[in-house]
Structure 1
Amino acid sequence: MQLYKQLLAGALVAALVGFSARASAGDSGYYPDDGYDYAAVTEVTPIYTDVQVRTPRTQCWDEQVAYQQPVSPAGTVIGGLIGAAIGNNLGKRGHRGRHHYRHYRHQRGASTVAGAAVGALVGNQISRASAPTRYVTEQRCQVVDEFVTHRELVGYDVRYRYNGREYLTRTDQHPGDRIRVRVDVSPAF
């Protein structure tokens, strides 16, 4: 009977030690040998950030463009000939009377050249003004930057309860309904 009492007392002590360890342990009821346990997750809040992405895009539109037909050289030549004739004629009229032939010829030549130059300029301007204008629709394009904002998930704020206390941490992945926690037990002195 003595042996029976000793076995019963040993079993009772072992049960009390086991109950005491379970009462002081975390929510799962025990401390694993590797120093980790699981805590109940009470709230999970996703954390986002806005990321702006630049995308180059080609933007095109139709534009009406005016083209003037090339100027005919005929107007310039004809204007020059008419101007030379007028200049030559004016040079003759300006020298009535007796002057040296050389002096007369020089002024007459200068009047002819000046008349030709003025006539060519006038003829060219008349040709330009009367040249037909052609309108053409052309496509114009330019590269523009388009900015688009995307929301990106960066993590989760996780509230959890362990051993009657509430904690907050941030994780990269959704933890589910429980989260693994490190348990550090040290003796109190």
Structure 2
Amino acid sequence: MKILKSLLVVFFASLTQMSFAGSFIDSASVVSVDKVYKQVRVEEPYQECYIKETVQNNGDGSATNEIIGGVIGGAIGNKLGKGDGNDIMTLAGILMGASIANDAEKAAGNGKQTIVSQEVCEKKVRQKIEKRLSHYKVTVDYNGSEVSFSSKRRPYDDVIKVEVTVDGLD
């Protein structure tokens, strides 16, 4: 019997020490709503165009003269070379013949050059910082106490529903 009384006393004592937690829905008056912004880095593509001037030599625009000069120069170099030096002389003849033909073509144009202008466009990307709305800081008056919280939605009424959580202190 004495043990049963002791157990009941301990049980009731522990009940008075326990705290109960719970939550419920209530109403609170909106005191203020402030927008909170964050900075975001944004890449913005753009096109940049400019006029590019190039020098163009007057010629017939064909490589035929240089090819024929290279063939003739290669044939002459091949006839002049002997033994192991034959390949080197042939190659030298090809290069010299093409170069002489190119120079002759430029001289025939009297050294005239034309400046050609053309528009050149490049795609580029610039980075900029934008200020974007992150969330709202809502301050409400609940039973005489001001409480603030973050919300993704802006409250439009003067009185809103709030969830109140009650939790005992240990």
8 Å Cα contact 2:51/2:120 also seen in 1:
yes
Q: Provide the rounded CA distance (Å) in 2 between the counterparts of 1:123 and 1:161.
A: 94
Which of 143, 147, 159 is residue 123 of structure 2 equivalent to?
A: 143
Q: Secondary structure at the match of 1:128?
A: helix
Matches within 5 A, 1:26-175: 35-70=24-59, 73=65, 110=80, 124-125=102-103, 127-128=105-106, 130-175=110-155
Match of 1:181 in 2: 162
Provide the aligned length of Structure 1 versus Structure 2: 120
Contact 2:59 2:105 in 1 (8 A): no
Q: In the aligned structure 2, how far is the partner of 1:185 from the partner of 1:124?
A: 95
TM-score, normalised to structure 2, is 0.53
**Max radius of gyration: which structure?**
1
Q: Report the TM-score when normalising by structure 1.
A: 0.48
Cα 1:179/1:49, change in 2 over 3 Å: same
- 1:46 counterpart letter in structure 2: K
- Runs of 5+ unmatched residues, structure 1: 1-33, 85-108
Q: 1:173 and 1:149 mapped to 2: Cα distance? A: 24
Which one scores higher on RCO, CA 8 angstroms, separation ≥ 6?
2
CA distance in 2, matches of 1:38, 1:122: 97
The whole-number CA distance in structure 2 between the counterparts of 1:51 and 1:159 is 26
Looking at secondary structure, tell me which structure has more helix per residue. Answer: 1
Q: Give the % identical residues.
A: 22
More strand by percentage? 2
- Aligned 8 A contact 1:43 1:160 in 2: yes
Q: Measure how far apart 1:66 and its partner are.
A: 0.9
Q: Could you tell me whether the CA contact under 8 Å between 1:70 and 1:131 is conserved in 2?
A: no
Alpha-carbon deviation of 1:165?
1.8
Q: Which residue of 1 aligns with 2:8?
A: none
SS of residue paired to 2:106: helix
Residues in 2 aligned to 1:134 and 1:143: alpha-carbon distance in whole angstroms: 28
Structure 2: gaps of 5 or more residues:
1-22, 81-88
Partner of 2:103, secondary structure, is helix
